[in-house]
Amino acid sequence: MILEVEKFLKKYNIKNKNVIVGFSGGPDSVAMAFLLSKLANKYNLALTLAYFNHNWRPKEAKEEEKFSLEFAKKINAKFYSETAPDDSIKSEENARELRYSFFERVMEKYDSDTVFLAHNKNDNIETALYRFIKGTGIAGLCSIPEVRGNFYRPLLKTSKEDILKFLKENNLDYKIDSSNDDVKYKRNLIRKEILPLFEQINPNYLNNIENLIKNSIANREIVENELSKFKEEIIEENSFNREKYLSQTKALRYEFLNDFIGDNLKCRNFKNIQKIDDFILENKSSQISINRNLFLKIKKNKIFYVEHNNYDK
C-alpha cells in the first residue's frame, strides 16, 4: 500500500507542503495517516490530523477524539478538532457540508492547500450505486474523483479488505463508528444489505463496477470536450443564448444544463434536468424557480439567473 500512496504523491507532485489529514479514528483514516507519516520526511510533508465531531454520538466521539490525539502524537503529527453546534441538523447531507466547511477552516489555520481524505474502493462503488439508484448520468457514474480542488484521495483504488489486512499486519488499532451499522442511512443500507446480494451474484462485483466507473470517466472526457466547445458558442457573460441552446441535440442540452446549473439545483437527476429543458423549449419569456434563492429567467433570447429578492430589478 505504501508504494501506491507514494505513486499518488508523485502523480500529483505533492511535496514540501502542510497537509491536512481528514481523520476519524476509523480504519481507513488510520491507514492513510500512518502511510503518509512513513513518507512525510521523504516528501517534506508536515501533517495535521483534523478530527470533526458531528455531535451525534457524544460518548463515542469523546473516545474517538482522545484516540485521534494520541495517534497524532504517535506519528509526530499536529492535531486539531472541532465539534458541530448542538442545534445542527442531523442528516448525512448537512454533516457533509459541516465537515467540508471545517476542512476549509483548518486549511486556512495551517496555511495549507491540501486535504487528504480516506475514501476507499468500496466507498467509490457504494457512491456510484447510490447515485445510480437516485437517478444519475455519466457524471454521477464517475463516482468519487481522486482529486477535486484541494481534496485528495490516495486510497480510492484500495479495497476495504486490503486496508484491514494492512492494519492487522502493522498492529494498528482503530475505532469503529457504531452509526455505520444503522441502515436508516442510505449508504449503510447499500453496504450492509444490498452489496452482500451482489457478492452472491458475482464475487468479483467490486472490480466489475470499478471498471464501469473507469469507462464512465473515459466517456465523460469525450463529453467534456464537446461540452467545452458548446459553452464557448453559447455562453455570453453570465447568460446563455436560447436559440443556440435549442439548436443542439437533447443529449448535449441536458449535459450543458447539468453543468450550468451545478449545485444550485439540489437534485440534478434526469427528471429535473428534463423539466428545465422543457421549460426553455416551451417559453420565450418566463422564469422557473431553481431553489429558494434563484430563478432561471428567459428574456430577449437570453437565459440567466435572477435572485428571488431582486426579481423586480
pLDDT of residue 138: 80
For residues 79 and 59, what is the distance between their CA atoms, to the nearest angstrom? 20
For residues 245 and 67, what is the distance between their CA atoms, to the nearest angstrom? 55
Cβ contacts of 198 within 8 Å, gap of 6 or more = 205
Query: In this structure, are residues 37 and 31 in contact, taking their beta carbons and an 8 Å threshold?
Result: no
Task: Report the CATH number at residue 257.
Answer: 3.30.465
One-character DSSP codes across 98-136 = HHHHHHHHHHHHTT-SEEE----HHHHHHHHHHHHHH--
Q: Are residues 133 and 86 in the same domain?
A: yes
Segment 85-134, tens digit of pLDDT:
888 887 878 888 999 999 999 999 999 999 999 999 999 999 999 988 88
Which grid cell sits at 238? 453570465
Task: Report the CATH number at residue 60.
Answer: 3.40.50.620
For residues 27 and 163, what is the distance between their CA atoms, to the nearest angstrom? 7
Q: What Cα–Cα distance (Å) separates residue 102 from each residue in 21, 90, 118, 215?
A: 12, 16, 16, 33
Total-model pTM: 0.81
Which band of pLDDT confidence, cut at 50, 70 and 90, is reported for residue 20?
Answer: very high
**Which of 154, 183, 201 is a domain's end point?**
201
Please report, as a single letter, which amino acid is at residue 149: G
Residue 269 structural domain: 237-310
**79 part of a folded domain:** yes
Top pLDDT among 171 and 134 is at: 171
For residues 59 and 183, what is the distance between their CA atoms, to the nearest angstrom? 21
pLDDT of residue 96: 87
How many helices (H) and strands (E) the chain has is answered by 13, 11
Number of structural domains in the chain:
2
Query: In this structure, are residues 49 and 79 in contact, taking their beta carbons and an 8 Å threshold?
Result: yes
Q: Are residues 21 and 78 in the same domain?
A: yes
- The arithmetic mean of pLDDT across residues 222-248, rounded, is 93
Segment 267-290, tens digit of pLDDT:
777 888 999 999 999 999 999 999
Segment 26-80, tens digit of pLDDT:
999 999 999 999 999 999 999 999 999 988 888 888 999 999 999 999 999 999 9
Q: Is the pLDDT of residue 311 over 60?
A: no
Q: What Cα–Cα distance (Å) separates residue 228 from each residue in 216, 222, 305?
A: 18, 10, 20
Report which of 304, 186, 178, 290 is spatially closest to residue 235, judged by C-alpha positions: 304
- The arithmetic mean of pLDDT across residues 303-307, rounded, is 92
Q: Is the pLDDT of residue 310 over 90?
A: no
pLDDT of residue 269: 78
**Which of 201, 222, 246 is a domain's end point?**
201
